[in-house]
Chains A and B, each alone.
Chain A
Amino acid sequence: LLQVQQKRWKVETNSRLDSVLLLSSMNLPGGELRRRSAEDELAMRDYLQEGDLISAEVQSVFSDGAVSLHTRSLKYGKLGQGVLVQVSPSLVKRQKTHFHDLPCGASVILGNNGYIWIYPTSEQKDEEAGGFTTNLEPVPLSDREVISRLRNCIVALVTEKLMLFDTSILYCYEASLPHQIKDILKPEVMEEIVLETRQRLLDLEG
């Protein structure tokens, strides 16, 4: 989030112009169908501040190319603890779902703008806050190792210019298991892992 303005937030989404998140497109805690009042406007900063990370969907595109976002579903909202990886948008495969729960223990959000968010899979699935309360409890070491490994795998796939989607990330993760997490960033190990991933993906198609 870049700025808090009158009735909206300005968000940076790796596009030509800053995107806009209107207050009326935002989920408010305590029910969705409230009319946004003047008090809500003044309390905007309590919901989202500069520097927060959010996941949102594109509602519409203005004539000048600026994008209008909305977080009208419970699965969108403020993001808690996790790791952001910035890649080129052309390397993210366009799919129907962007939220993937990987079986290795972490979840991944593949944004079409090239921003990828890796976070630990939360145990309870029915969060009613609409994504406002950030869970600041320390993340256990095993989860953090999985997330670091995934992050390095994504960086390896990007360096070797392979398309990013849930299957490719998963195969790359499995291929990287015999190596130590920090070794994945070495050029030789990177080539080896991605070669194996590519092979498995070709086998899958054929």
Chain B
Amino acid sequence: QEDLRVDGRGCEDYRCAEVETDVVSNTSGSARVKLGHTDILVGIKAEMGTPKLEKPDEGYLEFFVDCSANATPEFEGRGGEELGSEIANTLYRVFSSEGTVDLKSLCINPREHCWVLYVDVLLLECGGNLFDAISVAVKAALFNTRIPKVRVLEDEEGSKEIELSDDPYDCLRLSVDNVPCIVTLNKIGYRHVVDATLQEEACSLASLLISVTSKGALTSMKKMGKGSLDPESIFEMMETGKRVGKSLHTALQKILDEEENLGTSRQKVGFLG
């Protein structure tokens, strides 16, 4: 109540987070995020496909979430599928608004070829606040994604041939300025908290999930949980979410830029550190 949680954090403080990109070598981009006890691994593979009929000059993203059985005992066997599809649907919704990712840059030949980014999320450990960690990992992985540049050659008969450039470092990077991050606000008692641990999630009956871009614009909102939320508290939670989201973006961008500047001299910790 007085802005003091069990582990001493304030209502708007995040736990110590570790972000590392480029951990999986055979993907186009990857990232691993450790937020307290929550561990998420995201891998992005870029493959050629045909554009969707209603958007012929854009590429698209496909999300798949796998809840590993190691994460918590509830995910044994097929237990994690429901949660996995819920998270995937939320990610689709968050990225569905215009301008989050520059999809036109993913197009190679309108109506014929485009890049499809398959985003695979793997939940390694569940320690509360999955959505925030997943969105941070997806943003970091998108920042890290390197799509090879292709050239389209016109043949004499008119059939098109696609040529991959020979230089492995000649690639397309995505701009992640408008990629939103999810902020989950859990209502406990009369206040709401950001970044809940498993125990705090067990105490909260309702939560609001909002996705915020780095400029503070809201792209989607979802209410979860069995409890009810007062309309006034929803406004408060939205304001808090925007504030927290903006600071989360600046902190994440700073770390990603620092990591980028270290270049190839960076020591990769990976999974054995």
Contact = CB atoms under 8 A, between A and B. Distances in A.
A182 interface: yes
A182 B6 contact: no
B181 to A, nearest CB: 21
Contacts of B15: 185
Contacts, number: 37
A181 B5 CA distance: 10
B2 A182 contact: no
B7 A141 contact: no
A145 B4 contact: yes
A186 B4 CA distance: 17
Interface residues of B, number: 12
Which of B1, B6, B13 has the most CB atoms of chain A within a 10 A radius of its CB? B6
Chain A interface mostly: helix
Contact of B4 (A138, A144, A155, A185): A144
Interface in B1-34: 1-2, 4-10, 13, 15-16
Contacts of B8: 145, 148-149, 151-152, 180-182, 184-185
A29 interface: no
Interface in A170-205: 180-182, 184-187
Interface residues of A, number: 17
A144 B8 CA distance: 9
A185 B5 contact: no
A186 B7 contact: no
Interface in A125-148: 138, 141, 144-145, 148
A128 B1 CA distance: 31
Given A181-B4, A182-B8, 10 more contacts: A138-B1, A144-B2, A148-B5, A148-B6, A148-B8, A149-B8, A152-B7, A155-B7, A181-B8, A185-B8
Sorted from nearest, which 4 A-B pairs have the closest CB atoms?
A: A181-B8, A148-B8, A182-B8, A182-B9
12 contacts: A83-B6, A144-B2, A145-B8, A148-B4, A148-B5, A148-B7, A151-B8, A182-B10, A184-B8, A185-B7, A186-B16, A187-B16
